[in-house]
Amino acid sequence: MTSTTGTLEGQTQLTALDRCDRCGAQAYVRAELASGGALLFCNHHGRAVEGTLRPKTLNWIDESDRIS
Protein backbone atom coordinates (compact mmCIF):
# COMPACT_ATOMS: atom_id res chain seq x y z
CA MET A 1 0.00 0.00 0.00
CA THR A 2 1.16 3.45 -0.83
CA SER A 3 0.21 6.38 1.30
CA THR A 4 -2.99 8.15 0.36
CA THR A 5 -2.00 11.32 2.15
CA GLY A 6 0.01 14.21 0.79
CA THR A 7 -0.05 15.84 -2.60
CA LEU A 8 -2.25 14.67 -5.40
CA GLU A 9 0.27 15.93 -7.92
CA GLY A 10 1.04 13.20 -10.39
CA GLN A 11 -1.20 10.79 -8.58
CA THR A 12 -3.40 8.69 -10.79
CA GLN A 13 -4.84 6.36 -8.18
CA LEU A 14 -8.06 7.75 -6.84
CA THR A 15 -8.94 6.81 -3.30
CA ALA A 16 -12.04 6.67 -1.15
CA LEU A 17 -11.02 10.09 0.10
CA ASP A 18 -11.48 11.60 -3.34
CA ARG A 19 -14.97 12.99 -3.70
CA CYS A 20 -17.03 14.16 -6.64
CA ASP A 21 -17.00 17.96 -6.94
CA ARG A 22 -20.66 17.89 -7.89
CA CYS A 23 -22.33 15.56 -5.42
CA GLY A 24 -19.74 14.37 -2.92
CA ALA A 25 -19.89 10.73 -3.92
CA GLN A 26 -16.68 8.76 -4.23
CA ALA A 27 -14.75 9.97 -7.25
CA TYR A 28 -13.72 7.64 -10.04
CA VAL A 29 -12.84 10.24 -12.65
CA ARG A 30 -10.04 12.78 -12.35
CA ALA A 31 -9.97 15.55 -14.93
CA GLU A 32 -6.63 17.36 -15.06
CA LEU A 33 -7.30 20.71 -16.67
CA ALA A 34 -5.07 22.27 -19.29
CA SER A 35 -5.51 25.53 -17.35
CA GLY A 36 -4.18 23.92 -14.19
CA GLY A 37 -5.80 22.13 -11.32
CA ALA A 38 -7.98 19.11 -11.41
CA LEU A 39 -11.59 18.19 -10.92
CA LEU A 40 -12.95 15.00 -9.45
CA PHE A 41 -16.17 13.34 -10.46
CA CYS A 42 -18.10 10.27 -9.54
CA ASN A 43 -18.91 7.84 -12.30
CA HIS A 44 -22.25 9.48 -12.95
CA HIS A 45 -20.98 13.04 -13.17
CA GLY A 46 -17.85 11.98 -15.00
CA ARG A 47 -20.07 10.68 -17.77
CA ALA A 48 -22.27 13.76 -17.56
CA VAL A 49 -19.47 16.27 -18.11
CA GLU A 50 -17.10 14.21 -20.25
CA GLY A 51 -18.40 15.51 -23.57
CA THR A 52 -17.81 19.16 -22.73
CA LEU A 53 -14.99 18.98 -20.22
CA ARG A 54 -12.70 16.32 -21.61
CA PRO A 55 -11.46 18.43 -24.57
CA LYS A 56 -10.23 20.98 -22.02
CA THR A 57 -8.19 18.50 -20.02
CA LEU A 58 -4.63 17.32 -20.30
CA ASN A 59 -5.45 14.02 -18.67
CA TRP A 60 -8.73 12.27 -18.24
CA ILE A 61 -8.29 9.53 -15.70
CA ASP A 62 -11.23 7.18 -15.55
CA GLU A 63 -11.01 4.54 -12.87
CA SER A 64 -14.66 3.60 -13.02
CA ASP A 65 -13.66 0.08 -13.94
CA ARG A 66 -12.71 -0.31 -10.30
CA ILE A 67 -16.37 -0.15 -9.32
CA SER A 68 -17.34 -3.63 -8.33
Q: Which spans of this chain sit near Zn ion (rule: CB under 5 A)?
A: 20, 22-23, 25, 42, 45
> In this structure, are residues 28 and 20 in contact, taking their beta carbons and an 8 Å threshold?
no
Q: Distances from the Cα of 60 to the Cαs of 28, 46, 64, 67, in angstroms?
A: 11, 10, 12, 17
Which CB sits closer to Zn ion, 31 or 42? Answer: 42
Closest distance of CB 45 from Zn ion, Å? 3
CA angle 28, 33, 60 (to 5 degrees): 40
Would you say 6 or 65 has its CB closer to Zn ion? 65
Provide the minimum distance between the beta carbon of 47 and Zn ion in the complex, in angstroms, as a whole number.
10
Q: Which of residues 1 and 63 has its CB atom nearest to Zn ion in the complex? A: 63
